[in-house]
Structure 1
Amino acid sequence: MPPNRPQTMSPTPETEPARARPRRTQANRSRDARERLLAATIEVLMRSGYNGLTTKEVARCAGMSNGALMHHYATKAELVVAATAEIYEESIRRGQREAHTPEAIERPIEGFIKDCWSVYFDWPFIAAIEVIMVARTDPDLMSKILPVMERYRSSTNTLWLEVFRKAGFSGEQAQLALNLSLNLVRGMALNNLWQHDAAHYERYIQDWVRMVYQQFPRHAEGG
């Protein structure tokens, strides 16, 4: 044996895994618990809506006790606000992935609409709108939700306005095209909550994209 190394028993099958596997820190355990709770909250929002959501049901879906949930989120409102923030953070990540592709600069209107579509015609919008509708008549909840929504919109607009600029749009053109496209898709998504015919809207989107490029010829920088 090497000098100065204390002699020990050879590891047994029972002791080796315990020695080899590092212990998870309290911070890691808390982070994992919060992630499970937020994912469960979104699942329950999607299935039962805000009024049907209870902390007990969220805890059950997360595989945790209600007491463990209350350790991380003291109230239903606090839990829902945190889940809504995660919904919008996921939406920001989706936009970043789309905006950082070569295709986004080549065809910015389609790229931005694809980003909007992935949010408003998918679970992020459905889950978020459950909370927003309740917050409309609950000033305290709205005061907590509004900064979350504003962060999403500000981050997304800044991201895509830069893409439009690189694609050759002027600042005014980019702002107008972005806002009109956003409200077009968002309005369609609201109607789709009961109509359920995305293909119906895709035809209008194609017409809209063509009109935007006709109305706003791009500068040489964008090709």
Structure 2
Amino acid sequence: MPKASTTTTSATRGVAPRPPARRKQEDRSRETRDKLMQAAIDVLLRDGYNRLTMKEVVKVAGVSSGALMHHFTSKAELVVAATAMVYDEAIARGQRVALTAEAHRNPIEGYIADCTSVYFDWPFLAALETIVVARTDPELMEKILPVMEHYRSTCDVIWLAVFQKAGLTEGRAKAVLNLTLNLVRGMAINSIWRHDEAHYRQYLKTWIAMASHEFQLPAHV
């Protein structure tokens, strides 16, 4: 009868096997890509789209020019990818807010909290820098528009479900979403030159009271 093998492996010893070299390479590549996109956002916010250069992005990211060209062949491609990354994070954040018990108790306040976290912060500023340039650059607009539309349509689906669960019809849910969105977005643009948080907070409280009464939603103002 042949003897059983006494050879031990990392698995039989209870030690996880090392990841293959290819996986490590993929991880490094993903890390480099993320560094480049984050650096692009940093430079975009600091210098604006027109003054953003690939050389400066490489410097801020701390990677080589070759690594940059491996992932992105043009400034437009880099900035659009970075903007998409930002808005994917915003979608994930919105999903977390929408799933909370507080958002279901007070949906309009939850939606405003989600909107202000994006439009009064760097995600919107980064996108705005690109959108303004894209207004007169059809090629750039063609690249950035799907990113913005994906963000908006995904958020609409998430929050429509919350408002409909609160008892609104689809039509009325869409109305309160769009009215609230445009109010917050308009304030966010105004905040670029008017830094008055108390001013916006007071008007948002007024809107919560008005919308809650009109749409028969709960509100704590």
Q: TM-score, normalised by structure 2?
A: 0.88
Cα shift at 1:110: 0.4
SS at match of 1:184: helix
> Counterpart in 1 of 2:29?
30
Superposition RMSD in Å: 1.9
Q: CA deviation at 1:87?
A: 1.5
Query: In the alignment, what sits opposite 1:48?
Result: 47
The answer to whether the aligner puts 1:157 opposite 2:156 as a matched pair is yes
Query: Which residue in 2 is equivalent to 1:138?
Result: 137
1:200 maps to 199
The one-letter amino acid of 2:95's match is: Q
Percent pairwise identity: 57
Which residue of structure 2 aligns with residue 169 of structure 1?
168
Q: Distance in 2 between matches of 1:26 and 1:90?
A: 24
Between Structure 1 and Structure 2, the one with more helix by share is 1
Q: Which runs of 4+ in 1 moved over 3 A?
A: 2-6, 19-24
Structure 1 window deviating more from structure 2 (88-97 vs 115-124): it is: 88-97
- Structure 2 SS opposite 1:194: coil
Q: CA deviation at 1:196?
A: 1.3
- Give the match for residue 113 of structure 2: 114
User: 1:20 & 1:202 partners in 2: Cα distance?
Assistant: 53
Please state how far the C-alpha of 1:51 moved relative to its aligned partner. Answer: 1.1
| Residue pairs, 1:43-122, within 5 angstroms | 43-122=42-121
Which residue number in structure 1 is paired with residue 14 of structure 2?
none
Q: Quickly say closer, same or farther: Cα 1:66–1:105, change in 2 above 3 A.
A: same
Secondary structure at 2:73 match in 1: coil
| Paired letter, 1:40 | A
The one-letter code sitting in structure 2 at the alignment partner of 1:155 is T
Once the two structures are TM-superposed, the CA of residue 22 in structure 1 deviates from its matched residue by 6.8
Q: Deviations over 1:77-110 (max 9, x none)?
A: 1111101111111111121111010111110000
Q: Take 2:55 and 2:155, find their aligned partners in 1: how far apart are those partners?
A: 34
Q: Distance in 1 between matches of 2:132 and 2:197?
A: 23
Instruction: Count the aligned residue pairs.
Output: 206
C-alpha contact 2:106 2:217 (8 A) present in aligned 1:
no
Residue 159 of structure 1: how far off its partner (Å): 0.4
How far 1:27 moved relative to its partner?
1.5
Deviates more, 1:168-177 or 1:122-131: 168-177
The TM-score with structure 1 as length reference comes to 0.87
- State the AA in 2 paired with 1:213: S
Equivalent position amino acid for 1:47 in 2: R
Alignment CA distance shift 1:159-1:3 (3 Å):
closer
CA deviation after TM superposition for structure 1 residue 147, in Å: 0.6
Distance 1:151 1:3 in 2: 56
Distance (whole Å) between structure 2 residues aligned to residue 198 and residue 182 of structure 1: 17
Which residue identity is paired with 1:179? N
- Contact kept, 8 Å, 2:44 with 2:52, in 1: the verdict is yes
Contact 2:211–2:217, Cα closer than 8 Å, also in 1: no
In the TM superposition, what whole-angstrom CA distance separates every residue of 1:163-219 from its partner, at most 9, and x where no partner exists? 001111121211111000000000000000011112210000000000011111259
Unaligned runs of 5+ in 2: 9-16
Q: CA deviation at 1:25?
A: 2.4
Trace 1:182-201 onto structure 2 (pairs within 5 A): 182-201=181-200
